[in-house]
Structure 1
Amino acid sequence: MFVKDGTSKLTKVLTCPPTFLKRAAPINEISKLHPEPLQQEILLAEYQQLLDAYAKAGVTVEKLTPTVDMSNAVFARDFGGCVKEGYILGNFKKEIRFKERQAYENKMQELGVPKLAEVTTGYFEGGDFAFLRENVVAVGILDRTDQQGFETIKKALEPLGYQVYSVVADARYLHLDMCFNLVDEHLAVAYKEGLPAEFLELLKKLDIEIIPVEEEAIFKHGCNLESIGEHKVISLQQNKAVNDALRLRGMDVIELDISETLKAGGGPHCMTFPLQRG
Protein backbone atom coordinates (compact mmCIF):
# COMPACT_ATOMS: atom_id res chain seq x y z
CA MET A 1 0.00 0.00 0.00
CA PHE A 2 1.18 3.50 -0.80
CA VAL A 3 -1.15 6.32 0.30
CA LYS A 4 -4.31 5.22 2.12
CA ASP A 5 -5.86 8.65 2.71
CA GLY A 6 -4.96 12.21 3.63
CA THR A 7 -4.58 12.06 7.41
CA SER A 8 -3.30 8.64 8.50
CA LYS A 9 0.28 8.30 9.77
CA LEU A 10 2.70 9.61 7.17
CA THR A 11 5.80 7.42 6.89
CA LYS A 12 7.51 8.32 3.61
CA VAL A 13 7.60 11.41 1.42
CA LEU A 14 9.29 12.73 -1.71
CA THR A 15 10.78 16.23 -1.65
CA CYS A 16 13.21 18.31 -3.69
CA PRO A 17 15.73 20.90 -2.49
CA PRO A 18 15.33 24.48 -3.83
CA THR A 19 18.80 24.40 -5.37
CA PHE A 20 17.93 26.42 -8.47
CA LEU A 21 15.09 28.55 -7.16
CA LYS A 22 16.79 31.91 -7.68
CA ARG A 23 13.75 34.07 -8.36
CA ALA A 24 9.99 33.65 -7.93
CA ALA A 25 8.66 33.11 -11.46
CA PRO A 26 5.51 35.25 -11.92
CA ILE A 27 3.23 32.26 -12.48
CA ASN A 28 0.82 32.72 -9.57
CA GLU A 29 -0.71 35.57 -7.61
CA ILE A 30 1.79 35.27 -4.74
CA SER A 31 4.96 35.06 -6.81
CA LYS A 32 3.88 38.10 -8.86
CA LEU A 33 4.29 40.16 -5.68
CA HIS A 34 7.95 39.16 -5.29
CA PRO A 35 10.03 40.02 -8.37
CA GLU A 36 13.19 40.40 -6.29
CA PRO A 37 15.85 37.64 -6.23
CA LEU A 38 15.30 35.03 -3.54
CA GLN A 39 17.93 34.45 -0.87
CA GLN A 40 19.42 31.02 -1.49
CA GLU A 41 20.81 30.46 2.00
CA ILE A 42 17.42 31.16 3.54
CA LEU A 43 15.64 28.88 1.05
CA LEU A 44 17.95 25.99 1.88
CA ALA A 45 17.59 26.62 5.62
CA GLU A 46 13.80 26.59 5.30
CA TYR A 47 13.91 23.34 3.35
CA GLN A 48 16.10 21.89 6.10
CA GLN A 49 13.46 22.89 8.65
CA LEU A 50 10.96 20.73 6.80
CA LEU A 51 13.42 17.82 6.66
CA ASP A 52 14.13 18.17 10.38
CA ALA A 53 10.40 18.12 11.17
CA TYR A 54 9.98 14.93 9.19
CA ALA A 55 13.03 13.32 10.80
CA LYS A 56 11.68 14.12 14.25
CA ALA A 57 8.33 12.61 13.29
CA GLY A 58 9.97 9.44 11.97
CA VAL A 59 9.09 10.15 8.34
CA THR A 60 11.52 8.82 5.72
CA VAL A 61 12.43 11.46 3.14
CA GLU A 62 13.31 10.67 -0.46
CA LYS A 63 14.82 13.45 -2.56
CA LEU A 64 14.69 14.31 -6.23
CA THR A 65 17.93 15.83 -7.49
CA PRO A 66 16.96 18.96 -9.45
CA THR A 67 18.67 20.41 -12.49
CA VAL A 68 19.01 24.04 -13.52
CA ASP A 69 15.93 23.81 -15.75
CA MET A 70 13.73 22.66 -12.81
CA SER A 71 13.76 25.76 -10.64
CA ASN A 72 10.32 25.16 -9.11
CA ALA A 73 10.79 21.45 -8.41
CA VAL A 74 10.87 22.21 -4.67
CA PHE A 75 7.06 22.09 -4.91
CA ALA A 76 7.10 18.31 -5.23
CA ARG A 77 3.37 17.91 -4.62
CA ASP A 78 2.45 19.12 -8.07
CA PHE A 79 3.64 16.38 -10.40
CA GLY A 80 0.75 14.04 -9.55
CA GLY A 81 -1.41 12.33 -6.97
CA CYS A 82 -0.79 9.13 -4.99
CA VAL A 83 -3.33 6.55 -3.75
CA LYS A 84 -3.10 3.05 -2.26
CA GLU A 85 -2.50 1.35 -5.58
CA GLY A 86 0.03 3.73 -7.12
CA TYR A 87 0.10 7.23 -8.56
CA ILE A 88 -1.35 9.34 -11.35
CA LEU A 89 1.16 11.42 -13.31
CA GLY A 90 -0.04 14.95 -13.89
CA ASN A 91 0.55 17.41 -16.69
CA PHE A 92 1.98 20.85 -15.94
CA LYS A 93 0.42 23.95 -17.43
CA LYS A 94 3.40 26.31 -17.16
CA GLU A 95 6.48 25.77 -19.33
CA ILE A 96 8.84 26.54 -16.45
CA ARG A 97 7.76 23.24 -14.89
CA PHE A 98 7.71 20.98 -17.97
CA LYS A 99 11.10 19.35 -17.26
CA GLU A 100 9.96 18.20 -13.83
CA ARG A 101 7.41 15.77 -15.24
CA GLN A 102 9.91 13.29 -16.67
CA ALA A 103 12.28 13.69 -13.73
CA TYR A 104 9.56 12.87 -11.22
CA GLU A 105 8.25 10.00 -13.35
CA ASN A 106 11.77 8.51 -13.43
CA LYS A 107 12.07 8.96 -9.65
CA MET A 108 8.77 7.19 -9.01
CA GLN A 109 9.89 4.30 -11.20
CA GLU A 110 13.13 4.15 -9.22
CA LEU A 111 11.12 4.09 -5.98
CA GLY A 112 8.91 1.27 -7.27
CA VAL A 113 5.63 3.17 -7.26
CA PRO A 114 3.44 2.02 -10.17
CA LYS A 115 1.90 4.57 -12.52
CA LEU A 116 -1.85 4.00 -12.70
CA ALA A 117 -2.54 6.63 -15.35
CA GLU A 118 -1.23 9.90 -16.71
CA VAL A 119 -2.87 13.10 -17.80
CA THR A 120 -1.85 13.83 -21.40
CA THR A 121 -4.79 15.91 -22.61
CA GLY A 122 -5.62 18.83 -20.39
CA TYR A 123 -3.85 19.65 -17.13
CA PHE A 124 -3.54 18.24 -13.62
CA GLU A 125 -1.27 19.34 -10.78
CA GLY A 126 -1.08 17.59 -7.43
CA GLY A 127 -1.95 20.65 -5.37
CA ASP A 128 -5.48 20.04 -6.60
CA PHE A 129 -5.62 16.43 -5.34
CA ALA A 130 -7.17 15.90 -1.91
CA PHE A 131 -8.43 12.91 0.02
CA LEU A 132 -11.64 13.43 2.00
CA ARG A 133 -11.91 9.82 3.10
CA GLU A 134 -10.04 6.63 2.23
CA ASN A 135 -12.05 6.16 -0.95
CA VAL A 136 -13.28 9.71 -1.50
CA VAL A 137 -11.13 12.13 -3.47
CA ALA A 138 -11.67 15.79 -4.35
CA VAL A 139 -9.96 17.34 -7.38
CA GLY A 140 -9.77 21.10 -7.63
CA ILE A 141 -10.43 22.82 -10.93
CA LEU A 142 -8.85 26.24 -10.48
CA ASP A 143 -5.86 27.46 -12.50
CA ARG A 144 -3.68 24.38 -13.05
CA THR A 145 -6.16 21.50 -13.38
CA ASP A 146 -8.94 21.49 -15.96
CA GLN A 147 -11.97 19.37 -16.80
CA GLN A 148 -9.99 17.07 -19.09
CA GLY A 149 -7.46 16.40 -16.37
CA PHE A 150 -10.24 15.72 -13.89
CA GLU A 151 -11.92 13.25 -16.25
CA THR A 152 -8.66 11.30 -16.63
CA ILE A 153 -8.32 11.01 -12.86
CA LYS A 154 -11.94 9.99 -12.44
CA LYS A 155 -11.66 7.35 -15.16
CA ALA A 156 -8.54 5.91 -13.52
CA LEU A 157 -9.80 5.84 -9.93
CA GLU A 158 -13.49 4.95 -10.14
CA PRO A 159 -12.82 1.33 -11.26
CA LEU A 160 -10.67 0.98 -8.12
CA GLY A 161 -13.61 1.93 -5.90
CA TYR A 162 -12.97 5.64 -5.43
CA GLN A 163 -15.56 8.38 -5.49
CA VAL A 164 -14.06 11.38 -7.28
CA TYR A 165 -15.54 14.87 -7.00
CA SER A 166 -14.57 18.06 -8.80
CA VAL A 167 -14.27 21.33 -6.88
CA VAL A 168 -14.44 24.45 -9.03
CA ALA A 169 -12.97 27.59 -7.44
CA ASP A 170 -11.38 30.92 -8.32
CA ALA A 171 -8.26 30.53 -10.49
CA ARG A 172 -6.53 33.20 -8.38
CA TYR A 173 -6.27 30.64 -5.58
CA LEU A 174 -4.00 28.50 -7.83
CA HIS A 175 -4.61 25.07 -6.27
CA LEU A 176 -7.21 23.49 -4.01
CA ASP A 177 -4.63 23.07 -1.25
CA MET A 178 -4.31 26.85 -1.03
CA CYS A 179 -7.96 27.31 -0.02
CA PHE A 180 -8.84 23.89 1.50
CA ASN A 181 -6.83 21.34 3.43
CA LEU A 182 -7.87 18.28 5.43
CA VAL A 183 -5.68 18.21 8.55
CA ASP A 184 -7.35 15.43 10.55
CA GLU A 185 -10.01 12.83 9.81
CA HIS A 186 -12.87 15.16 10.67
CA LEU A 187 -11.14 18.55 10.51
CA ALA A 188 -10.17 20.91 7.71
CA VAL A 189 -8.94 24.47 7.25
CA ALA A 190 -10.64 26.37 4.44
CA TYR A 191 -11.88 29.61 2.96
CA LYS A 192 -15.53 28.55 2.92
CA GLU A 193 -16.82 31.45 0.84
CA GLY A 194 -14.52 30.46 -2.01
CA LEU A 195 -15.76 26.88 -2.22
CA PRO A 196 -18.87 25.68 -4.08
CA ALA A 197 -22.01 24.94 -2.08
CA GLU A 198 -22.14 21.30 -3.21
CA PHE A 199 -18.60 20.73 -1.91
CA LEU A 200 -19.48 22.26 1.46
CA GLU A 201 -22.50 19.95 1.59
CA LEU A 202 -20.26 16.97 0.88
CA LEU A 203 -17.93 17.98 3.72
CA LYS A 204 -20.93 18.28 6.03
CA LYS A 205 -22.15 14.84 4.97
CA LEU A 206 -18.70 13.42 5.75
CA ASP A 207 -18.77 15.12 9.17
CA ILE A 208 -15.75 17.31 8.41
CA GLU A 209 -15.56 20.43 10.56
CA ILE A 210 -14.06 23.51 8.93
CA ILE A 211 -11.78 25.98 10.66
CA PRO A 212 -12.59 29.06 8.57
CA VAL A 213 -10.06 31.56 7.29
CA GLU A 214 -10.45 34.85 5.45
CA GLU A 215 -9.64 35.10 1.75
CA GLU A 216 -6.40 36.95 2.45
CA ALA A 217 -5.12 33.92 4.36
CA ILE A 218 -4.98 31.98 1.08
CA PHE A 219 -2.21 34.25 -0.17
CA LYS A 220 -0.34 33.88 3.13
CA HIS A 221 -0.52 30.06 3.06
CA GLY A 222 -2.99 29.86 5.92
CA CYS A 223 -4.46 26.66 4.46
CA ASN A 224 -1.27 25.10 3.10
CA LEU A 225 -0.73 22.66 5.96
CA GLU A 226 0.61 19.11 5.96
CA SER A 227 -1.04 16.44 8.08
CA ILE A 228 1.43 13.85 9.32
CA GLY A 229 -1.16 11.73 11.12
CA GLU A 230 -1.85 10.97 14.78
CA HIS A 231 -3.46 14.42 15.15
CA LYS A 232 -0.24 16.19 14.15
CA VAL A 233 0.10 18.83 11.47
CA ILE A 234 2.92 20.92 10.01
CA SER A 235 2.00 24.58 9.78
CA LEU A 236 3.69 27.96 9.58
CA GLN A 237 4.72 30.06 12.53
CA GLN A 238 2.90 33.03 10.99
CA ASN A 239 -0.46 31.14 10.98
CA LYS A 240 -1.16 32.16 14.57
CA ALA A 241 -4.97 32.19 14.45
CA VAL A 242 -5.15 28.91 12.52
CA ASN A 243 -2.59 27.25 14.79
CA ASP A 244 -4.44 28.36 17.92
CA ALA A 245 -7.71 27.01 16.50
CA LEU A 246 -6.03 23.70 15.66
CA ARG A 247 -4.64 23.35 19.18
CA LEU A 248 -8.05 24.09 20.67
CA ARG A 249 -9.28 21.03 18.77
CA GLY A 250 -6.53 18.80 20.14
CA MET A 251 -4.04 19.03 17.29
CA ASP A 252 -0.28 18.97 17.82
CA VAL A 253 0.96 21.83 15.62
CA ILE A 254 4.54 21.76 14.37
CA GLU A 255 5.43 25.32 13.37
CA LEU A 256 7.98 26.13 10.68
CA ASP A 257 9.49 29.57 10.31
CA ILE A 258 9.24 29.82 6.54
CA SER A 259 8.89 33.06 4.61
CA GLU A 260 11.33 33.03 1.67
CA THR A 261 9.98 29.86 0.03
CA LEU A 262 6.45 31.20 0.33
CA LYS A 263 7.36 34.03 -2.03
CA ALA A 264 7.48 31.51 -4.88
CA GLY A 265 3.91 30.47 -4.09
CA GLY A 266 4.06 27.29 -2.02
CA GLY A 267 4.13 26.08 1.58
CA PRO A 268 4.73 22.79 3.47
CA HIS A 269 1.92 20.94 1.67
CA CYS A 270 3.24 22.04 -1.73
CA MET A 271 6.74 20.90 -0.80
CA THR A 272 5.62 17.38 0.11
CA PHE A 273 4.60 14.47 -2.12
CA PRO A 274 3.34 11.60 0.09
CA LEU A 275 4.69 8.16 -0.81
CA GLN A 276 3.44 6.05 2.09
CA ARG A 277 0.60 6.86 4.47
CA GLY A 278 -1.69 4.58 6.39
Structure 2
Amino acid sequence: MAVAACAACLVYVLSAEVLRWALPDAAEPLHAAAFTSAILFLVPGFPLLTAGIDLARFDFTSGMSRLLYAAMITLACGMGAWLIAWAFGLVPTEIPAPDLSWWSLAGLRILASYLGVLGFAVTFNTPIRVALWCSGIGAVANLGRLSAIDAGANPLLCATLATTAVGLMAAWASQRVLSARITLSVPAVLIMVPGASAFRALIAMINHDPLSALANGLTSLSVVVCLAAGLAIARMVSDPAWISANPSWTQMPRTHAQQALRAHLQQPPQDDAD
Protein backbone atom coordinates (compact mmCIF):
# COMPACT_ATOMS: atom_id res chain seq x y z
CA MET A 1 0.00 0.00 0.00
CA ALA A 2 2.90 2.34 0.69
CA VAL A 3 4.23 1.68 -2.82
CA ALA A 4 0.78 2.32 -4.31
CA ALA A 5 0.52 5.58 -2.37
CA CYS A 6 3.96 6.67 -3.59
CA ALA A 7 3.07 5.85 -7.18
CA ALA A 8 -0.28 7.67 -7.03
CA CYS A 9 1.22 10.80 -5.45
CA LEU A 10 4.14 10.78 -7.87
CA VAL A 11 1.87 10.52 -10.91
CA TYR A 12 -0.29 13.36 -9.55
CA VAL A 13 2.64 15.66 -8.84
CA LEU A 14 4.24 15.06 -12.23
CA SER A 15 0.92 15.53 -14.02
CA ALA A 16 0.33 18.79 -12.16
CA GLU A 17 3.78 20.05 -13.11
CA VAL A 18 3.25 19.15 -16.77
CA LEU A 19 -0.13 20.89 -16.76
CA ARG A 20 1.33 24.00 -15.15
CA TRP A 21 4.15 24.02 -17.70
CA ALA A 22 1.75 23.57 -20.64
CA LEU A 23 -0.83 26.11 -19.38
CA PRO A 24 1.05 28.61 -17.23
CA ASP A 25 -1.79 31.14 -17.27
CA ALA A 26 -4.66 28.71 -16.68
CA ALA A 27 -3.17 26.28 -14.15
CA GLU A 28 -2.60 27.30 -10.54
CA PRO A 29 0.08 25.63 -8.41
CA LEU A 30 -2.32 23.93 -6.02
CA HIS A 31 -0.74 20.48 -6.14
CA ALA A 32 1.01 21.14 -2.82
CA ALA A 33 -2.40 21.35 -1.15
CA ALA A 34 -4.24 18.68 -3.15
CA PHE A 35 -1.71 15.91 -3.68
CA THR A 36 -3.22 13.81 -0.88
CA SER A 37 -6.41 13.62 -2.94
CA ALA A 38 -4.56 11.29 -5.30
CA ILE A 39 -4.48 8.55 -2.65
CA LEU A 40 -7.98 8.85 -1.25
CA PHE A 41 -8.95 5.74 -3.19
CA LEU A 42 -6.59 3.84 -0.86
CA VAL A 43 -8.43 4.94 2.27
CA PRO A 44 -9.86 1.76 3.86
CA GLY A 45 -13.30 3.26 4.27
CA PHE A 46 -15.16 -0.04 4.00
CA PRO A 47 -13.44 -1.72 6.99
CA LEU A 48 -13.59 1.55 8.92
CA LEU A 49 -17.35 1.89 8.51
CA THR A 50 -18.13 -1.77 9.01
CA ALA A 51 -15.93 -1.75 12.11
CA GLY A 52 -18.08 1.03 13.53
CA ILE A 53 -21.25 -0.90 12.71
CA ASP A 54 -19.85 -4.05 14.33
CA LEU A 55 -18.88 -2.15 17.46
CA ALA A 56 -22.36 -0.63 17.61
CA ARG A 57 -23.71 -4.20 17.82
CA PHE A 58 -21.06 -5.07 20.46
CA ASP A 59 -19.34 -7.43 18.03
CA PHE A 60 -15.91 -6.58 19.35
CA THR A 61 -14.11 -9.46 17.64
CA SER A 62 -15.02 -8.36 14.12
CA GLY A 63 -15.00 -4.65 14.95
CA MET A 64 -11.55 -4.51 16.49
CA SER A 65 -9.96 -6.70 13.80
CA ARG A 66 -11.37 -4.50 11.03
CA LEU A 67 -10.38 -1.35 12.88
CA LEU A 68 -6.81 -2.58 13.32
CA TYR A 69 -6.63 -3.55 9.65
CA ALA A 70 -7.86 -0.10 8.59
CA ALA A 71 -5.34 1.60 10.89
CA MET A 72 -2.45 -0.41 9.45
CA ILE A 73 -3.48 0.37 5.85
CA THR A 74 -3.86 4.07 6.67
CA LEU A 75 -0.42 4.15 8.30
CA ALA A 76 1.20 2.50 5.28
CA CYS A 77 -0.48 4.91 2.86
CA GLY A 78 0.49 7.86 5.03
CA MET A 79 4.12 6.79 4.93
CA GLY A 80 4.00 6.71 1.14
CA ALA A 81 2.39 10.15 0.97
CA TRP A 82 4.94 11.56 3.40
CA LEU A 83 7.82 10.23 1.30
CA ILE A 84 6.59 12.07 -1.81
CA ALA A 85 5.83 15.21 0.21
CA TRP A 86 9.35 15.14 1.65
CA ALA A 87 10.96 14.51 -1.74
CA PHE A 88 9.18 17.42 -3.45
CA GLY A 89 8.96 19.74 -0.43
CA LEU A 90 5.15 19.75 -0.38
CA VAL A 91 2.95 20.73 2.55
CA PRO A 92 -0.55 19.13 2.55
CA THR A 93 -2.54 22.18 3.57
CA GLU A 94 -6.28 22.60 3.15
CA ILE A 95 -7.59 23.95 -0.15
CA PRO A 96 -9.72 27.11 0.11
CA ALA A 97 -13.30 26.91 -1.11
CA PRO A 98 -13.72 27.99 -4.75
CA ASP A 99 -15.30 31.36 -5.37
CA LEU A 100 -18.36 30.16 -7.28
CA SER A 101 -22.08 30.71 -7.09
CA TRP A 102 -24.12 28.24 -5.06
CA TRP A 103 -25.67 26.63 -8.13
CA SER A 104 -22.33 26.19 -9.89
CA LEU A 105 -20.71 24.78 -6.77
CA ALA A 106 -23.68 22.47 -6.13
CA GLY A 107 -23.56 21.16 -9.69
CA LEU A 108 -19.85 20.43 -9.49
CA ARG A 109 -20.21 18.80 -6.08
CA ILE A 110 -23.05 16.52 -7.11
CA LEU A 111 -21.17 15.52 -10.27
CA ALA A 112 -17.95 14.82 -8.38
CA SER A 113 -19.83 12.93 -5.65
CA TYR A 114 -21.72 10.85 -8.21
CA LEU A 115 -18.56 9.88 -10.08
CA GLY A 116 -16.66 9.24 -6.85
CA VAL A 117 -19.29 6.90 -5.43
CA LEU A 118 -19.58 5.18 -8.81
CA GLY A 119 -15.84 4.59 -8.78
CA PHE A 120 -15.95 3.06 -5.29
CA ALA A 121 -18.91 0.86 -6.25
CA VAL A 122 -17.20 -0.40 -9.40
CA THR A 123 -14.05 -1.08 -7.38
CA PHE A 124 -16.12 -3.37 -5.14
CA ASN A 125 -17.44 -5.26 -8.22
CA THR A 126 -20.94 -3.92 -7.69
CA PRO A 127 -23.36 -4.59 -10.58
CA ILE A 128 -23.72 -1.51 -12.74
CA ARG A 129 -27.45 -1.07 -12.05
CA VAL A 130 -26.87 -1.18 -8.30
CA ALA A 131 -23.84 1.10 -8.66
CA LEU A 132 -25.93 3.75 -10.43
CA TRP A 133 -28.51 3.72 -7.63
CA CYS A 134 -25.71 3.85 -5.06
CA SER A 135 -24.13 6.82 -6.84
CA GLY A 136 -27.39 8.75 -6.85
CA ILE A 137 -27.90 8.14 -3.13
CA GLY A 138 -24.37 9.22 -2.27
CA ALA A 139 -24.45 12.32 -4.47
CA VAL A 140 -27.69 13.63 -2.96
CA ALA A 141 -26.61 12.96 0.63
CA ASN A 142 -23.13 14.43 0.19
CA LEU A 143 -24.47 17.56 -1.49
CA GLY A 144 -26.81 18.12 1.44
CA ARG A 145 -24.00 17.56 3.94
CA LEU A 146 -21.59 19.98 2.26
CA SER A 147 -24.29 22.62 1.77
CA ALA A 148 -25.24 22.41 5.45
CA ILE A 149 -21.59 22.75 6.50
CA ASP A 150 -21.20 25.82 4.28
CA ALA A 151 -24.28 27.29 5.96
CA GLY A 152 -22.58 26.99 9.37
CA ALA A 153 -23.98 23.69 10.66
CA ASN A 154 -21.95 21.36 12.87
CA PRO A 155 -19.87 19.03 10.63
CA LEU A 156 -20.32 16.08 12.97
CA LEU A 157 -24.08 16.47 13.08
CA CYS A 158 -24.13 16.85 9.30
CA ALA A 159 -22.14 13.64 8.90
CA THR A 160 -24.51 11.71 11.15
CA LEU A 161 -27.65 13.00 9.43
CA ALA A 162 -26.19 12.43 5.96
CA THR A 163 -25.31 8.80 6.61
CA THR A 164 -28.64 8.22 8.33
CA ALA A 165 -30.30 9.46 5.15
CA VAL A 166 -28.03 7.21 3.09
CA GLY A 167 -28.99 4.20 5.19
CA LEU A 168 -32.71 4.91 4.91
CA MET A 169 -32.52 5.53 1.15
CA ALA A 170 -30.47 2.34 0.75
CA ALA A 171 -33.10 0.38 2.68
CA TRP A 172 -35.76 1.72 0.31
CA ALA A 173 -33.70 1.19 -2.84
CA SER A 174 -32.71 -2.36 -1.87
CA GLN A 175 -36.35 -3.37 -2.44
CA ARG A 176 -36.22 -2.02 -6.00
CA VAL A 177 -32.91 -3.42 -7.20
CA LEU A 178 -32.93 -6.66 -5.16
CA SER A 179 -29.60 -6.00 -3.52
CA ALA A 180 -28.29 -6.01 0.03
CA ARG A 181 -28.53 -2.61 1.63
CA ILE A 182 -24.89 -2.61 2.69
CA THR A 183 -23.96 -2.84 -0.99
CA LEU A 184 -25.85 0.41 -1.54
CA SER A 185 -24.98 2.25 1.66
CA VAL A 186 -21.26 1.73 2.27
CA PRO A 187 -19.94 2.94 -1.13
CA ALA A 188 -22.26 5.95 -0.87
CA VAL A 189 -20.72 6.88 2.48
CA LEU A 190 -17.08 6.33 1.50
CA ILE A 191 -17.09 9.65 -0.37
CA MET A 192 -17.59 11.35 3.02
CA VAL A 193 -14.64 9.70 4.79
CA PRO A 194 -12.13 12.46 5.70
CA GLY A 195 -9.12 10.80 4.15
CA ALA A 196 -7.26 14.05 3.50
CA SER A 197 -7.28 15.09 7.16
CA ALA A 198 -6.21 11.58 8.21
CA PHE A 199 -3.18 11.70 5.93
CA ARG A 200 -2.40 15.25 7.06
CA ALA A 201 -2.41 13.97 10.64
CA LEU A 202 0.02 11.17 9.80
CA ILE A 203 2.36 13.48 7.92
CA ALA A 204 2.27 16.01 10.76
CA MET A 205 3.08 13.23 13.23
CA ILE A 206 6.08 12.15 11.17
CA ASN A 207 7.21 15.78 10.91
CA HIS A 208 7.03 16.18 14.71
CA ASP A 209 4.11 18.63 14.60
CA PRO A 210 1.96 17.35 17.50
CA LEU A 211 -0.63 20.13 17.42
CA SER A 212 -1.47 19.66 13.75
CA ALA A 213 -1.39 15.88 14.12
CA LEU A 214 -3.77 15.99 17.08
CA ALA A 215 -6.17 18.42 15.42
CA ASN A 216 -6.37 16.52 12.13
CA GLY A 217 -6.43 13.14 13.85
CA LEU A 218 -9.34 14.07 16.11
CA THR A 219 -11.19 15.57 13.16
CA SER A 220 -10.84 12.38 11.14
CA LEU A 221 -11.73 10.09 14.03
CA SER A 222 -14.80 12.04 15.10
CA VAL A 223 -16.17 12.24 11.54
CA VAL A 224 -15.67 8.51 10.96
CA VAL A 225 -17.45 7.72 14.23
CA CYS A 226 -20.37 9.93 13.20
CA LEU A 227 -20.53 8.33 9.75
CA ALA A 228 -20.72 4.86 11.27
CA ALA A 229 -23.25 6.07 13.85
CA GLY A 230 -25.53 7.35 11.10
CA LEU A 231 -25.48 4.00 9.31
CA ALA A 232 -26.17 2.21 12.60
CA ILE A 233 -29.12 4.50 13.37
CA ALA A 234 -30.61 3.91 9.93
CA ARG A 235 -30.21 0.15 10.31
CA MET A 236 -31.85 0.18 13.73
CA VAL A 237 -34.80 2.14 12.36
CA SER A 238 -35.32 0.12 9.19
CA ASP A 239 -34.36 -3.41 10.27
CA PRO A 240 -36.09 -4.76 13.42
CA ALA A 241 -34.03 -7.97 13.32
CA TRP A 242 -30.83 -5.95 13.62
CA ILE A 243 -31.64 -4.83 17.16
CA SER A 244 -33.18 -8.09 18.39
CA ALA A 245 -31.88 -9.57 21.61
CA ASN A 246 -30.34 -12.55 19.81
CA PRO A 247 -29.80 -11.49 16.21
CA SER A 248 -29.47 -14.35 13.80
CA TRP A 249 -29.20 -14.25 10.06
CA THR A 250 -31.15 -17.51 9.94
CA GLN A 251 -34.28 -15.46 10.70
CA MET A 252 -33.97 -13.78 7.32
CA PRO A 253 -35.46 -12.92 4.90
CA ARG A 254 -37.57 -10.13 6.34
CA THR A 255 -37.81 -7.90 3.28
CA HIS A 256 -39.14 -8.34 -0.23
CA ALA A 257 -35.65 -8.09 -1.70
CA GLN A 258 -34.28 -10.79 0.62
CA GLN A 259 -37.25 -13.05 -0.07
CA ALA A 260 -36.72 -12.69 -3.81
CA LEU A 261 -33.01 -13.40 -3.49
CA ARG A 262 -33.59 -16.47 -1.33
CA ALA A 263 -36.24 -17.80 -3.73
CA HIS A 264 -33.84 -17.32 -6.63
CA LEU A 265 -31.02 -19.13 -4.83
CA GLN A 266 -33.28 -22.02 -3.83
CA GLN A 267 -34.38 -22.71 -7.40
CA PRO A 268 -32.91 -26.00 -8.68
CA PRO A 269 -30.50 -25.65 -11.59
CA GLN A 270 -32.08 -26.32 -14.98
CA ASP A 271 -30.33 -28.53 -17.49
CA ASP A 272 -29.76 -27.05 -20.91
CA ALA A 273 -32.05 -28.43 -23.55
CA ASP A 274 -30.40 -30.59 -26.19
Report TM bin, short chain: under 0.3
TM-score of the superposition, structure 2-length normalised?
0.24
Q: Which is greater in Rg?
A: 2
The structure where helix makes up a greater share of residues is 2
Q: Which has the higher contact order (CA 8 A, sep 6+)?
A: 1
TM-score of the superposition, structure 1-length normalised?
0.24
The structure where strand makes up a greater share of residues is 1
